[in-house]
């Protein structure tokens, strides 16, 4: 088949199950359509650190892909191309590659000019970044610079604007349900509250959807600050009407107790996108529930089983949804390339595959429509009006 051009593909931000199936889908379809595919290693870092010399060792920065490489990788989790949170428009001087240190000397540097030179060096006709809104926001920057970009959304939080679904979310929900049910045995054995902290910096989908599926009695989400006394009262009620005497709450990592000024963080260090690592709200909530429980339980204290799921829901192989959706997203990306379209985000809207302008990535984070999907009084999903809703219930609009 006649050679049509070269497509670059990269994965940025946190790892999720489903990235390797997406890389496979792009590679297999592209090669069959006459394209060469280059995998950029370590997200945007690979494009920053390339030495534009054919004699240089760039094996750590990119590799040519083939079916023999991507087919076995697609059966595994994570990303075999590796990932990073590198932000080329805001690169600290400590992260500037040695061969560029005479060029970029500011404390924070915009190295986009170098990225563009390296894209030319690789001969990329199209670039397919797979990532969340941070990774894709720089993809949009490159689009504005004239690079032909077709983006694929990925994140555990499912909060990329412009799409109902992001790669990784299905496995996150599946694992959360499985682990919550597994942890019930310990909570029930000791007649305790089970407090589970899950992903969700700005959006509560990863707490709300598992709760809707029966993984928990209550959930608290970042979209609304919650009253800890009210949560304690509800969990005591749930526990005491259950024969095995336990109750379960899912806590989004970005949730805030009413009166708090900020989210709970594991430290003050921030990544290149300005995010500090979240964590600890589950521990705080558990301690408060333990303290408040006698007030609603006849003076008797209720102890807590506390678990932060973290990487347990993002490691390992993808579930069925995160094997099928990446296949479709990869082929959608090739459909757009074959049409000559760029500056697009592949998406799912109201249960239908499609695409929209990548400019949507600059919109505010996609969050749960609280009025439609969350019962503020009961601290749980709303179970009303399911007729004619798409498979995943909650939509991006």
Residue 271 annotated to the active site: no
pLDDT in tens, 201-247: 999 999 999 999 999 999 999 999 999 999 999 999 999 999 999 99
Q: Which two tokens stand for residue 54?
A: 């054919």
Round to whole Å and give the CA distance between 166 and 142.
Answer: 21
Q: What is the pTM of this model?
A: 0.94
Say if domain 170-313+370-381 classifies as CATH 3.40.50.460: yes
Task: Please give the torsion angle defined by the CA atoms of residues 107, 111, 114 and 115, in that order, rounded to the nearest 10 degrees.
Answer: 140
Round to whole Å and give the CA distance between 251 and 268.
Answer: 21
Round to whole Å and give the CA distance between 182 and 68.
Answer: 38
Hey, what CATH topology would domain 5-167+316-362 get?
Answer: Rossmann fold (3.40.50)
Q: Which two tokens stand for residue 240?
A: 């005491």
pLDDT in tens, 267-315: 666 667 665 666 689 999 999 999 999 999 999 999 999 999 999 999 9
Residue 47: which residues within 8 A CB-CB, separation 6 or more? 10, 40, 61, 88, 115, 118, 119
Token look-up 């790669």 returns 167
Round to whole Å and give the CA distance between 148 and 363.
Answer: 21
The CA-CA-CA angle for residues 257, 261, 264, to 5°, reads: 65
Cβ atoms of residues 355 and 332 within 8 Å: yes
pLDDT in tens, 362-396: 998 899 999 999 999 999 999 888 888 888 888 86
The residue annotated as part of the active site, out of 157, 164, 217, 322, is: 157
Round to whole Å and give the CA distance between 160 and 184.
Answer: 32
Percent pLDDT > 90 in the chain is 89
Domain ranges in the chain? 5-167+316-362, 170-313+370-381
170-313+370-381 shares the fold of 5-167+316-362? yes
């Amino acid at each position: 088949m006649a050679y049509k051009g070269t497509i670059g593909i990269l994965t940025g931000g946190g790892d999720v199950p489903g990235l390797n199936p997406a890389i496979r889908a792009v590679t297999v379809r592209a090669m069959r359509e006459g394209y060469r595919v280059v995998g950029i290693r370590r997200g945007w870092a690979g494009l920053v650190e390339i030495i534009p010399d054919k004699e240089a060792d760039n094996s750590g920065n990119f590799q040519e892909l083939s079916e023999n490489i991507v087919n076995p990788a697609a059966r595994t989790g994570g990303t075999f191309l590796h990932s990073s949170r590198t932000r080329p428009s805001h690169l600290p001087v400590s992260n500037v590659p040695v061969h560029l240190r005479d060029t970029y000397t500011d404390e924070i540097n915009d190295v986009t000019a170098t990225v563009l030179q390296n894209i030319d060096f690789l001969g990329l006709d199209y670039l397919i970044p797979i990532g969340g809104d941070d990774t894709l926001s720089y993809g949009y920057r490159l689009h504005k610079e004239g690079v032909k970009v077709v983006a694929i959304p990925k994140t555990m939080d499912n909060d990329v604007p412009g799409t109902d679904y992001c790669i990784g979310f299905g496995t996150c929900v599946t694992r959360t349900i499985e682990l919550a049910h597994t942890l019930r045995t310990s909570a029930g054995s000791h007649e305790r509250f089970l407090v589970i902290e899950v992903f969700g910096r700005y959006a509560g989908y990863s707490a709300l959807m598992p709760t809707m599926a029966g993984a928990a009695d209550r959930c608290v989400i970042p979209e609304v600050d919650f009253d800890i006394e009210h949560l304690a009262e509800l969990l005591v009620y749930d526990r005491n009407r259950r024969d095995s005497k336990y109750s379960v709450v899912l806590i989004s990592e970005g949730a805030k107790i009413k009166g708090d000024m900020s989210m709970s963080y594991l430290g003050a260090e921030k990544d290149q996108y300005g995010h500090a690592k979240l964590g600890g709200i589950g521990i705080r909530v558990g301690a408060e529930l333990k303290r408040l429980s006698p007030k609603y339980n006849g003076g008797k204290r209720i102890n807590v089983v506390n678990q932060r799921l973290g990487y347990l829901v993002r490691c390992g192989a993808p579930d069925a949804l995160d094997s099928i959706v990446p296949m479709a997203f990869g082929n959608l990306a090739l459909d757009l390339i074959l049409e000559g379209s760029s500056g697009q985000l592949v998406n799912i809207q109201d249960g239908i595959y499609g695409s929209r302008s990548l400019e949507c990535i600059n919109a505010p984070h996609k969050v749960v429509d609280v009025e439609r999907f969350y019962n503020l009084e009961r601290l749980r999903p709303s179970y009303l009006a399911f007729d004619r809703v798409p498979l995943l219930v909650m939509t991006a609009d």
